[in-house]
């Protein structure tokens, strides 16, 4: 009756929480173990763990600024998670926007070139919903202008471009382990890099210590999440407005804290399941696309040549721009508008009077369908029905 699907999510098992608990009791060996697992998985030399994806981005930008102190602009796609500009501003830097191609969600290359200046420190590439961007084209532009590139694979852990894992392109990559990402440790962020220089700068940055209460809080949240993400119970958090579920906010009020052993214990087990989790998402996204392929006015992103997406969610673009969501089926808007429309960000924008029509159009027409493991056959049927009705009008 009250069955309700989260827009995204990954199950946390009681055994995951036990692993986290055990690790916190017997010291933090697991932290080093998790870092080694990540380095091995992605074939990189350095890994840093922090309290969130936003914190990971902030730390990286600070490290890059140390290496290029006279540059203070960061190029971002005009449509992405509000966490990304939050991190740039937290690092004390300015945001320069570039448009996206609404067909592929990848940066518009002409617009990208216009966004660069001699003050550009870095370019952040975001692979939304697990769809890889056109890395060859982007890296070519970056190489010509000599800017750093951060490969933000917060939504794309396990996806590849021409056989190479996202997160490993450019100078450094990040992943998020927050709720609603490919795998989760409740909160958490990962930085990976092969650059010794960036790693050396990162090692110098201080993180706030995580205390006993932080650990307790994480365990408590893990237990709650393990229960409430399930469709019979998800209506409960959905009706608690103070949880601000699914809201992407622009805010620099977040900590730069240590990652804990509790999280590493959960993370090590999650990483082992990543392939299987991604396979499941791919299968369900494929079924949804096949089912919706005949609907009028419904489009899916065009995949870039060489891309293997992981479908964290399945974005659909509709011809119509009215409300076509359905919370109970996990069908939601992702980010309500492009970054240039965030009032609080305006003072930090490199304002040059440019427009971002691709980002605007995409933001008005996109809805995301859930692809996680709780989406069952009958949910698929309901989602398909919902959109066949919408497409008839
Ligand atoms: C979620 C997300 C982040 C930030 O991760 P948090 O762990 O939520 O701070 C950064 N970039 C993108 C593209 C994201 O989707």
User: What confidence tens digit (pLDDT) does each residue in 245-276 have?
Assistant: 667 789 999 999 999 999 999 999 999 999 99
Contact 250, 82 (CB under 8 A): yes
For residue 315, what are the β-bridge partners? 368
Nearest atom within ligand 1 for CA of residue 80: 13
pLDDT band at 228 (very low <50, low <70, confident <90, very high): confident
pLDDT band at 389 (very low <50, low <70, confident <90, very high): low
Mean of all residue pLDDT scores within the chain: 92
Distance 215 CA to ligand 1 centre (A): 21
pLDDT band at 227 (very low <50, low <70, confident <90, very high): confident
Residue with token string 């966490």: 83
- The rounded percent of the chain whose pLDDT value lies above 70 is 96
Tell whether the model's pLDDT for residue 372 goes beyond 80: yes
Tell whether the model's pLDDT for residue 67 goes beyond 70: yes
Q: How far is CA 354 from CA 104, 142, 181, 227, 337, in A?
A: 21, 20, 32, 46, 16
Least confidently predicted of 64-68, 83-87, 280-284, 325-329: 325-329
Instruction: Specify the 3-state DSSP secondary structure of 49.
Output: strand
CA distance 185 to 45: 22
- The rounded percent of the chain whose pLDDT value lies above 90 is 72
Residue 368 Cβ contacting ligand 1 at under 6 Å: no
Q: Which of 49, 60, 118 is nearest to 271 (CA)?
A: 49
What strands lie across the sheet with 307-308, from one edge to the other?
A: 164-165, 160-161, 307-308
Mean of pLDDT values over 349-361: 91
Mean of pLDDT values over 94-113: 97
Nearest atom within ligand 1 for CA of residue 178: 7
Q: Which two tokens stand for residue 16?
A: 């995951």
Nearest atom within ligand 1 for CA of residue 177: 7
Q: What is the pLDDT of residue 250?
A: 94
CATH of 14-392, one of 2.20.25.90, 3.40.640.10, 3.40.50.300, 1.10.10.10: 3.40.640.10
User: Which residue lies with its CA nearest to atom 12 of ligand 1?
Assistant: 154
Tell whether the model's pLDDT for residue 393 goes beyond 60: no
Hey, which bits of 163-276 come out as E strands? 164-165, 172-176, 189-193
Residue 88 Cβ contacting ligand 1 at under 6 Å: no
- Stronger pLDDT, 251 or 226, i.e. the higher one: 251
Q: How far is CA 82 from CA 49, 273, 379, 387, in A?
A: 21, 28, 29, 28
Q: What is the pLDDT of residue 176?
A: 98
Residue 83 Cβ contacting ligand 1 at under 6 Å: yes
User: Which residue lies with its CA nearest to atom 5 of ligand 1?
Assistant: 53
Q: Which residues contact 159 (CB under 8 A, 6 or more apart)?
A: 127, 130, 131, 132, 153, 165, 166, 278, 307, 308, 309, 310
Q: How far is CA 180 from CA 47, 63, 81, 145, in A?
A: 22, 27, 12, 35
Segments making up each domain of the chain, as ranges:
14-392
Q: Which two tokens stand for residue 235?
A: 């209506």
Report the C-alpha dihedral over residues 319, 321, 322, 323, rounded to 10 degrees: 90
Residue 262 Cβ contacting ligand 1 at under 6 Å: no
Ligand 1 mutation pick, 61, 84, 177, max ligand atoms within 8 A of CB: 84
Distance 378 CA to ligand 1 centre (A): 31
Q: What is the pLDDT of residue 242?
A: 65
Contact 120, 95 (CB under 8 A): no
Q: What is the pLDDT of residue 246?
A: 66
- Stronger pLDDT, 21 or 163, i.e. the higher one: 163
Tell whether the model's pLDDT for residue 44 goes beyond 60: yes
CA distance 307 to 133: 8
Report the C-alpha dihedral over residues 223, 226, 227, 233, rounded to 10 degrees: 140
Residue 81 Cβ contacting ligand 1 at under 6 Å: yes
Q: What is the pLDDT of residue 106?
A: 98
Q: What is the pLDDT of residue 173?
A: 98
Mean of pLDDT values over 9-37: 86
Residue 86 Cβ contacting ligand 1 at under 6 Å: no
Instruction: Give per-residue burial for 8-34: e unless 16+ CB within 10 Å, then b.
Output: bbbbbeeebbebbbebbeeebebbebb
CA distance 159 to 366: 21
Tell whether the model's pLDDT for residue 1 goes beyond 60: no
Q: Is 146 left (phi over 0), alpha (psi -120 to 50) or beta?
A: left
Residue 193 Cβ contacting ligand 1 at under 6 Å: no
Instruction: Specify the 3-state DSSP secondary structure of 224.
Output: helix
Q: Which two tokens stand for residue 317?
A: 């673009």
Helix (H) or strand (E) holding 216: helix 212-228
Tell whether the model's pLDDT for residue 175 goes beyond 80: yes
């Amino acid at each position: 009756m009250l069955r309700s699907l989260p827009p995204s999510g990954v199950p946390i098992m009681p055994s995951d929480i036990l692993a986290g608990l055990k690790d916190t009791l017997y010291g933090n060996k697991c932290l080093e173990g998790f870092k080694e697992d990540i380095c091995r998985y992605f074939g990189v030399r350095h890994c840093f763990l922090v309290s969130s994806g936003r914190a990971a981005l902030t730390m990286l930008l600070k490290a890059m600024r140390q290496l290029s102190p006279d540059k203070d602009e960061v190029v971002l796609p005009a449509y992405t998670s509000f966490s990304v500009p939050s991190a740039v501003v937290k690092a004390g830097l300015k945001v320069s926007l570039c448009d996206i191609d609404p067909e592929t969600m990848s940066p518009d290359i002409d617009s990208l070139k216009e966004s660069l200046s001699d003050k550009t420190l870095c370019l952040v590439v975001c692979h939304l919903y697990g769809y890889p961007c056109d890395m060859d084209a982007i890296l070519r532009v970056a190489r010509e202008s000599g800017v750093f590139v951060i490969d933000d694979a917060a939504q794309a852990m396990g996806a590849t471009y021409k056989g190479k894992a996202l997160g490993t392109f450019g100078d450094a990559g990040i992943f998020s382990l927050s709720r609603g990402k490919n795998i989760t440790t409740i909160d958490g962020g990962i930085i990976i890099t092969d650059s010794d220089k960036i790693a050396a700068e990162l090692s110098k940055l201080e993180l706030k210590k995580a205390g006993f209460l932080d650990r307790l809080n994480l365990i408590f949240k893990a237990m709650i999440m393990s229960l409430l993400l399930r469709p019979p119970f998800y209506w409960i958090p959905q009706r608690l407005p103070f949880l601000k579920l699914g809201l992407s906010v622009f805010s620099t009020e977040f900590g730069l804290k240590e990652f804990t052993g509790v999280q590493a214990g959960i993370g090590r087990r999650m990483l082992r399941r990543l392939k299987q989790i991604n396979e499941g998402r791919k299968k369900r996204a494929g079924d949804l696309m096949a089912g919706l392929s005949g609907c009028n006015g419904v489009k899916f992103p065009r995949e870039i040549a060489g891309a293997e997406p992981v479908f964290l969610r399945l974005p659909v673009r509709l011809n119509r721009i009215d409300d076509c969501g359905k919370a109970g089926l996990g069908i939601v808007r992702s980010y309500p508008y492009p970054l240039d429309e965030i009032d609080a960000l305006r003072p930090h924008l490199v304002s040059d009077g440019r427009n971002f029509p691709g980002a605007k159009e995409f933001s008005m027409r996109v809805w995301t369908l859930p692809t996680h493991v709780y989406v069952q056959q009958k949910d698929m049927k309901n989602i398909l029905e919902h959109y066949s009705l919408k497409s008839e009008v």
